[in-house]
Amino acid sequence: MQITVLVLILALLTVIGFQMGRTRAAASVGGRVVELHSVPSYHGFYVALWAGLPALFLFVLWTASEGWLIMQMVLASLPARLTSGDPQALNLLKADILNIAHGISTGRESDPDVVAAAQHYGTLRDIGDWSLLAVGSCLAVVGLAYGHRRIGPDLRARNRVERVVSVALIVCSLVAILTTVGIVLSLLFEALRFFAVVSPLEFLFGTHWSPQMAMRADQVGSSGSFGAIPLFAGTLLITVIAMVVAVPIGLMSAIYMSEYANPAVRTWLKPILEILAGIPTVVYGFFAALTMAPFVRVIGQDLGLDVSSESALSAGIVMGVMIIPFVSSLSDDVINAVPQSLRDGSYGLGATKSETIRQVVVPAALPGIVAAIMLAVSRAIGETMIVTMAAGLTANLTANPLEAVTTVTTQIATLLVGDQEFDSPKTLSAFGLGLVLFLVTLSLNMVALRVVQKYREKYD
Amino acid sequence: MISRKHVFTAAAAVALSVAVTGGANAQSRDQIRAVGSSTVFPFTTAVAEAFGKGGKFKTPVVESTGTGGGLKLFCAGVGPSHPDIANASRRIKKSEVEQCAANGVTQITELKIGFDGIALAYSKKAPEVALTTAILWKALAKEVPVDGKLVANPYKKWSDIDPKLPNAEIEVLGPPPTSGTRDTFNELAMLEGCKKTPEVKAVVADEKAREKVCMTIREDGGYVEAGENDNLIVQKLNANPAAFGVFGYSYIEQNRDKLQSAKMDGVDLTAPNVASGKYELSRPLYVYVKNAHAGVIPGIREFIAEFTSERAVGDEGYLADKGLIPEPKDARDAARTSAVNLTPLQL
Amino acid sequence: MSVTTAKSHYQSEAFARRLRARYAAERNFKIAGIAAIAIASLMLVVLLTSIVSKGYTAFWQAQVRVEVTFDKAQVEERNYAAILRQGLYAQFPQITERSGRRMLNELLSSGAPYELEALVARDPSIVGTTRTVWVRADDEVDQFVKGYFPRTGPEAERRLNDAKIAAVDAMTASGALVQSFNTTLFSAGDSREAEQAGIWGAVVGSLLTLLITMALSVPIGIAAAVYLEEFAPKNKWTDLIEVNINNLAAVPSIIFGLLGLAVFLGFFGLPRSAPVVGGLVMALMTLPVIIISARVALKSVPPSIREAALGIGASPLQTVTHHVLPLAMPGILTGTIIGMARALGETAPLLMIGMVAFIVDVPHGLTDSATVLPVQIYMWADSPERAFTERTSAAIMILLGFLILMNGLAVFLRKKFERRW
Amino acid sequence: MNVQTHIPTSAQAGARSAPAVPNKMVARDVKVFYGAKQALKGINVDIQENKVLALIGPSGCGKSTFLRCLNRMNDTIENCRVEGLIALDGEDVYGKSIDAVQLRARVGMVFQKPNPFPKSIYDNIAYGPRIHGMATGREELDEVVQTSLQRAGLWNEVKDRLREPGTGLSGGQQQRLCIARAIAVSPEVILMDEPCSALDPIATAHIEELIDELRENFTIVIVTHNMQQAARVSQKTAFFHLGDMVECDDTEEIFTNPRDERTQGYITGRYG
């Protein structure tokens, strides 16, 4: 309640601050706005920032620390017999107090001291909320007054406001860096523990993947080898099949849509193809396992081939289908970006449409197309659900698309939700694989960027 | 300007760090949380739903994380940010109990809720097959003794092992090494089958080495690690009548019209046969409860009472409908008493 | 080479032959294009057909008519099961033995007594009266009525035995068993009983997750794009950020799940299975998508507009907020919607942060345990009960409906505001 | 079919020109529609062999549209419909006996903005001969490239960097590259759509000189906004106004003694 009120008050004061700042700025030069350093609305923003920001910081600080602070105060007031336990007991005590304070019945008679503490907690929280309301509003008013007082013809309000805004913008773009750092750290930490048990060389160059560790100390008969080459090979095989499906179909669709189809057809076709990209991968997984795999198997048997029921081929084909719109959409964009003048130039020399496309348009769009394919490749490498469902888990070092293979992502998903002991290298290897996966997609993307930068033709 | 910027940065940093500690500490929870094995998941969820329908407590949240992942979360500590219940398709290990204790989770109640039979199933379209664990071992082992030597498994077709068996390629879709089902399968089918194959003893004298030979599964395509989505395996078996699938009893129960399960050493996979121990490919299922949470998280005792009640795990209970094979009556009664009293687990 | 030779070349038989070959190549190329599109569309059709043909029956659910007397004493005891049983037995007076009555009980959903309870809660005046009510049938009956279970064959292998089939047939004949629209599917949370399971909980979970994703990734994404495109100096730091963003767009989604597991759950101690965590992970995942598309949109605003604004004395910030951003907005919006649609369909990262959970209660807040639609699909797909098969496909249809809606909106915006400079 | 036999020479066109010069191309009552909008309202022009015809007129008057009709470049534009007759050497270019591809090889085109393909200079020139199968061997192709570049006056500037991308040249060089590219397929007519509008005066002068030299071997039609340019390079000039051809005559006549007052107004700069 108090928090809602505070938010409302802050919003109101910000708006008022804006108006006051604007008015005062205009008034300070007697309405001759040109004499101001910045236009009046910047003065308004300046005051509004002073009114809103400090109070907002207080608000964030308080909401983040409130629970902890009050809990410390409540615990301090409790008799030692309750609080002297180990940290675990203390955790339970806190939970108990919170539950009672929130009116959650635990179905049990609680210690009267705990009940009293819970009431105490409730009271303190109320006090806290009210004082937050009071302090927050005061801070906003003080800020408003301060900002308001500083307004004058010489105040560089625009520069101040723009600096605040640009700091905010910079912070936003740093989120990307933080995310990358977070990913690397969260993978690296666990991966290092894995590499402490299994040597990175064995992991990267070993050709036998059988992540079995003993379930019991006295159990033997589980090999436990962590050579990830079969996984990389499996991933590569499926990715290649997917690309063999997706690149020609996607590229030709893009070409047809942007060069041949009339606009009405194109308006319909493009979104229809994009639906393929929007279908959740779980759905593709089922399609691959239940429709495509038996189909491929039957066809294979008719041809006298020995097809595994979880062939890399079926997973790859379905993944390719998923990636078609990815290739076609991106290629379509780059093909459209090729200027009409190039096509005209080619037609003007008497080239047919397909000659123009093959010899002028596609080469001109090639860097973009290559980048699109690279992105599609990293998408295929990182795809999880389809391969988990359709490609099986047999770590098979083979180039035969009719056999079952497994991929890096499949192993990550199954290793992490497995029934293993959680500190075993088997579980940790998932992070090792994750790290490799991250690095591979990273370098692929780097290459794609380089390609684009190096070969991009400048058309204006 | 610069000093003010520093003040802001410092304030933001303080806010962030306080948010971390505060967020971790100040939590309350009015809902039971369970984590763990995907095999036990259907049973725990059924109990949770019945418990929630009772109306006194919120429906517990049950997460399928795998036994190991579940026990990891379960053992991470005491307090509302840690789960109250862990489902396991195997017994908790000593090392895990110790890990638990190190994190303050000292009192754990163990509920043995029943059994899961492991079926070797195949499509209804195929003729009936009777297997033995010995045949199974020969079909699936990586190396088998032939003429007094250990060689890479030469059997491509079932009829290579025994002419009476169908003349079809050996293809068994089974759980991956990450799965608890696989471990059970290794131990109950492979090891037993191996023991029943006297030639092995003659070839490999050392017991440890022999056990290793016994439990290593072939990787040349005869055994396909097929993931943990059992519905998919059901459909794959239907599409490929020559293949066998290894999975839980409940799936056989639900797909009797599509699948049949092979007789193992002459015994049919039925609930009575499993409960009496005649059908050997079965494993007990467990639920572990954190005693310290009873009384803090609402409804834990009541949930245990529901879980061990006759209407849940009894012979006619609703878990039997879901495919659980109940324990014999006297074992259930004993388990109920110890569970309701939260008798801590002693290993 | 003179004009005359060229002229003769173009009118020569050799050129005509070559021209025919060139036109044949042209035709083949065009056919290849049509074939590519046809294959892609065919795949879509096959996919959609297989889903719809499996799932459309889930929108109907068998209901059973029972005449029940709301006995006051039994209502007070909350013994609705008994009330229902008595009503049911009255319909089959010829069945008296215990096993037969047990069979009759199995015709109804185990949730049926709670439907009665809800009726009483809504209208207490019905206590003491006799009413005709429709309650859900058991999922096996439902599947049987829909023709998924065989009637013939050895009784032991059938899901429904002869007695049950007879009872179902009798009720169908008397109009006491009909199929009606399955409202439960749209209004309930998850359940282990297929006939009581619904997607509403997952839909709410998805919406809450998406809300967080949107609230975080849209403003941050646009701000970052504006900074990088309009303000950032060209130096190695901004290069780094740029490369970073491009890389993040290609990072597999499962890795974001690992990040969420380590940072939001491990480090910040946020609750498991909460939409707020799902939203945070999805926000990080969609952020690069939004930044990239926003940058493209900003880039497509011609520099002349900026120069015009700067030329009349607007500050860079004013130029951006007054002119560039509004012009780029449709493009940004399209990118945002596509990013959101991707987040809506994503499963893999949520597997890592505990959103693969059985949750019956519909979530009410951002920290309540929740699941999302794709994960619900994933879990239902794994349920052994046969009735979940059609519900899985139905949930897929609903999810696809949302996705098509969002993509359609994006297409519409793109069409409506498409601008060529 | 010989059109000139049964199509009477239009009243305006070529009325005062010497009949000795044969017509390379003729246009009779050419109407062009973009959807429902009519862009040309019946144009009659004779294009004489080995002469430069300049099309002048205010923006949007249909000069470029007309130019693009001459080699059927308008085919590539959606909803564009052409009526009337355009003949090359007496053959209807929209008729069955002439194919668009063949026509465009015979009637080449150079565009307003230099548009070299994203290929090397050599491949830019060799593109046309290759697709038309004009050069059979490596040496022959080399020779075509060299001759074309020499004729376009670019050979000396680029002979050492034939393998570098054509986009790396300066604007004027790029336009000469495009002209060389058009010459390489040995067309009979070259259409130029404001070829100098994107170039500086020095580059423009180069191109103008080039046009004058090319006249010996090719018939040239040039659209220009620059009346001095029209006066400098052309022998014939046609003035277009609002989709009509107002006047077509010897360049000298048009600029010194226009018959129509709209022409008068335009060339004296009163409107445009």
State how beta strands B244-248 and B108-123 pair.
Answer: antiparallel
The residues facing C179 across adjacent strands are C62
- Are the Cβ atoms of B292 and A88 closer than 8 angstroms? yes
Query: Both C165 and C243 in a single domain?
Result: no
Query: Around D133, how many Cα atoms within 13 Å sit in the side-chain half-sphere?
Result: 16
Quote the pLDDT of residue A105: 67
Per-position b or e across B222-253, b if 16+ CB within 10 A of its CB: bbbbbbbbbbbbbbbbbbbebbbbbbbbbbbb
What is the per-residue pLDDT across A107-137, written as a single tens digit (0 to 9) for each?
A: 666 778 888 888 888 888 888 888 888 888 8
Query: Both C38 and C107 in a single domain?
Result: no
CA dihedral C176, C181, C187, C188 (to 10 degrees): 50
Least confident among A214-218, B69-73, D235-239 = A214-218
Query: Which stretches does DSSP call E strand in A107-262?
Result: 209-210, 225-226
Quote the pLDDT of residue A238: 92
Q: Using a CB–CB cutoff of 8 Å, tell me whether C14 touches chain D.
A: yes
Closest CA to A241 of A390, A347, A81, A105: A390
Give φ, ψ of C157 to 5 degrees: -95, -5
Nearest CB partner across the interface for A280, out of C30, C37, C345:
C345
Alpha-carbon torsion B124, B127, B130, B133, what sign?
A: negative
3-state SS assignment for residue B196:
coil
Cα A400 from chain centre:
34
Q: Using a CB–CB cutoff of 8 Å, tell me whether D129 touches chain A.
A: no
What is the per-residue pLDDT across B271-291, written as a single tens digit (0 to 9) for each?
A: 888 888 888 888 889 999 998
Going from the C-alpha of B119 to that of each of A289, A433, B116, B188, the distances in angstroms are 21, 33, 9, 12
Query: Both C107 and C45 in a single domain?
Result: no
Q: Which residues of B touch A99 (CB under 8 A)?
A: 28-30, 296-298
Q: Which residues of C touch D134 (CB under 8 A)?
A: 6, 9
Question: A58, A419, A433: which to substitute to probe chain B, counting the most B Cβ within 10 Å?
Answer: A419
Q: Using a CB–CB cutoff of 8 Å, tell me whether D188 touches chain C.
A: yes
Task: Give the pTM.
Answer: 0.82
Q: Which residues of chain A have pLDDT under 70?
A: 1, 105-109, 212-224, 417-424, 455-460
Residue A202 lies inside a defined structural domain of this protein: no
Q: Which residues of A touch B93 (CB under 8 A)?
A: 215-216, 421
Residue A209 lies inside a defined structural domain of this protein: no
Let me know: does D124 contact D87? Beta carbons within 8 Å.
no
Structure confidence at residue B209 as a pLDDT band (50, 70, 90): confident
Domain span holding position C175? 60-188
Let me know: does C344 contact C376? Beta carbons within 8 Å.
no
Q: Using a CB–CB cutoff of 8 Å, tell me whether A321 touches chain B.
A: no
Q: Which residues of C touch B250 (CB under 8 A)?
A: 384
Cα A77 from chain centre:
44
Query: Both C343 and C387 in a single domain?
Result: yes
Query: Both C175 and C205 in a single domain?
Result: no
Query: Both C312 and C343 in a single domain?
Result: yes
- Are the Cβ atoms of C22 and D101 closer than 8 angstroms? yes
Residue A336 lies inside a defined structural domain of this protein: yes
CA dihedral C2, C8, C12, C17 (to 10 degrees): 50
Q: Tell which wins on pLDDT, A300 or D16.
A: A300
Q: Using a CB–CB cutoff of 8 Å, tell me whether A210 touches chain B.
A: yes
What is the per-residue pLDDT across C253-271, written as a single tens digit (0 to 9) for each?
A: 888 988 888 888 878 878 8
Residue A194 lies inside a defined structural domain of this protein: no
Q: Which residues of C touch B256 (CB under 8 A)?
A: 156-159
Give φ, ψ of D159 to 5 degrees: -65, -25
Q: Using a CB–CB cutoff of 8 Å, tell me whether A444 touches chain B.
A: no
Q: Can you give the residue ranges of every domain in chain D?
A: 4-267
Domain end residue (candidates: C188, C215, C239): C188
Q: Tell which wins on pLDDT, D97 or D100.
A: D100
Quote the pLDDT of residue A222: 46
Q: Which residues of B touch A310 (CB under 8 A)?
A: 224, 226, 236
Query: Both A318 and A416 in a single domain?
Result: yes
Number of domains in chain A: 2
How far is Cα C113 from Cα C85, in angstroms, rounded to an integer?
9
What letter represents residue D258's amino acid?
P
Query: Both C250 and C331 in a single domain?
Result: yes
Going from the C-alpha of A257 to that of each of A264, A328, B249, C114, the distances in angstroms are 10, 9, 52, 56
What is the per-residue pLDDT across D128-161, written as a single tens digit (0 to 9) for each?
A: 999 888 877 889 899 999 999 998 888 998 989 9
Query: Both A430 and A283 in a single domain?
Result: yes
What is the per-residue pLDDT across C43-75, written as a single tens digit (0 to 9) for each?
A: 889 988 988 988 899 999 999 999 998 988 888
Nearest CB partner across the interface for C241, out of A176, A383, A437:
A176
What is the per-residue pLDDT across C77-102, written as a single tens digit (0 to 9) for each?
A: 888 888 888 888 888 888 888 888 88
- Which residue in chain B is spatially nearest to A163 when comparing CA positions? B1
Q: Which residues of chain C have pLDDT under 50?
A: 1-4
Query: Both C81 and C38 in a single domain?
Result: no
Closest CA to B171 of B227, B237, B232, B231: B237
Quote the pLDDT of residue B3: 42
- Decide: residue D36, CB within 10 A, 0-12 exposed, 13-18 middle, 19+ buried: exposed
How far is Cα A350 from Cα C213, in angstroms, rounded to an integer?
53
Residue A170 lies inside a defined structural domain of this protein: no
Going from the C-alpha of A65 to that of each of A89, A125, A127, the distances in angstroms are 22, 12, 14
Structure confidence at residue B58 as a pLDDT band (50, 70, 90): confident
How far is Cα B84 from Cα B35, in angstroms, rounded to an integer?
8
At CB < 8 Å, which residues of chain B contact C?
Answer: 19-20, 23-25, 27, 31, 33, 35, 38, 41-42, 44-46, 48-49, 52-53, 58-59, 61-65, 73, 81, 124, 229-231, 250-251, 253-257, 318, 322-323
Q: What does CATH list as the number for D4-267?
A: 3.40.50.300
How far is Cα A28 from Cα A14, in angstroms, rounded to an integer?
21
The residues facing D28 across adjacent strands are D85
For chain B, list the domains and their CATH numbers.
30-116+283-341 (3.40.190.10), 117-282 (3.40.190.10)
Let me know: does D86 contact D27? Beta carbons within 8 Å.
yes
Q: Which residues of C touch A166 (CB under 8 A)?
A: 227, 231, 317
Query: Both C67 and C184 in a single domain?
Result: yes
Which CATH number goes with the domain that contains C333?
1.10.3720.10
Query: Which stretches does DSSP call E strand in chain D?
Result: 23-34, 37-48, 52-56, 80-88, 91-92, 107-110, 189-193, 219-223, 236-241, 244-250
Query: Both A136 and A254 in a single domain?
Result: no
How far is Cα A253 from Cα A264, in angstroms, rounded to an integer?
15
Query: Both A118 and A267 in a single domain?
Result: no
- Decide: residue A347, CB within 10 A, 0-12 exposed, 13-18 middle, 19+ buried: buried
Residue C195 lies inside a defined structural domain of this protein: no
Residue A230 lies inside a defined structural domain of this protein: yes
Domain end residue (candidates: A155, A183, A198): A155
How far is Cα C192 from Cα C196, in angstroms, rounded to an integer?
8
Q: In sequence order, which ranges of chain B are alpha helices (DSSP H)? A: 2-25, 41-53, 67-74, 94-102, 133-140, 158-161, 180-185, 192-195, 198-203, 207-215, 230-239, 249-254, 271-275, 300-308, 310-313, 318-321, 329-340
Quote the pLDDT of residue D2: 42
Let me know: does D91 contact C10? Beta carbons within 8 Å.
no
Quote the pLDDT of residue B227: 65
From C398's Cα to the closest Cα of chain A, the distance in A is 11
From C148's Cα to the closest Cα of chain A, the distance in A is 18
Biggest distance spanned by C-alpha atoms of chain A: 96
The CA-CA-CA angle for residues C224, B9, C212, to 5°, reads 45
Domain span holding position A71? 2-155
Quote the pLDDT of residue C285: 92
Which whole number is the average pLDDT over B80-103? Answer: 87
Nearest CB partner across the interface for A249, out of C36, C341, C399:
C36
Query: Both C68 and C103 in a single domain?
Result: yes
Number of domains in chain C: 3
Q: Which residues of B touch C191 (CB under 8 A)?
A: 49
Quote the pLDDT of residue B299: 87
Quote the pLDDT of residue D1: 40
